[in-house]
Amino acid sequence: MSYIPQLPRATAYCLQPVEFQLVDNRLWYTTVDMKVTVYSTPTCPYCKLTKDFLKESSIAFSDVDVSSDPSMANEMVKKSGQMGVPVIDIDGAIIVGWNKSALEEALGMKQKA
């Protein structure tokens, strides 16, 4: 999500669809067509944390169970260089493990530090 500062008579022009949300009296936007994939296993507690965070944030995502699909497990390893889960692919940005701050940054929910 990205912050839109208050500007008098501001007009926003976007080349892609966005969703707007008011948080703490600030207007934020998120691109609608962002592609998010979570590579996970059913028994992984950090995978659950990741998916719960995305659901609570109203972020659409694909959940790939790598324990039941070896080809997807290989794809995950090629993307991340890691065997552990979760691996999150956000429009090509790879995050390994549960990292709320990195997720928020990759999703545009907070400014980069």
Q: Average pLDDT in the 38-48 region?
A: 97
Question: Which of the pair, 7 or 53, is modelled with greater confidence?
Answer: 53
For residue 113, being part of any structural domain is answered with no
pLDDT of residue 56: 87
Residue 18 sits in the same domain as residue 63: no
Cβ atoms within 10 A of the Cβ of 107, count? 22
Residue 38 sits in the same domain as residue 24: no
Residue 56 sits in the same domain as residue 27: no
Show the beta-strand stretches assigned E in the chain: 2-4, 18-23, 26-31, 36-40, 62-65, 87-90, 93-96
Strands 36-40 and 62-65: parallel
List the alpha helices (DSSP H) in the chain. 45-56, 70-80, 100-106
> In the block, which residue shows the tokens 């290989």?
74
50-105 pLDDT, tens per residue? 999 998 888 888 999 999 999 999 999 999 999 999 999 999 999 999 999 999 88
For residue 3, being part of any structural domain is answered with yes
> Are 28 and 21 within 8 A, CB to CB?
yes
d(CA 31, CA 49): 23
Number of domains the chain contains: 2
Question: Which of the pair, 9 or 53, is modelled with greater confidence?
Answer: 53
Q: Average pLDDT in the 9-15 region?
A: 42
pLDDT of residue 29: 61
Q: Is the pLDDT of residue 13 over 80?
A: no
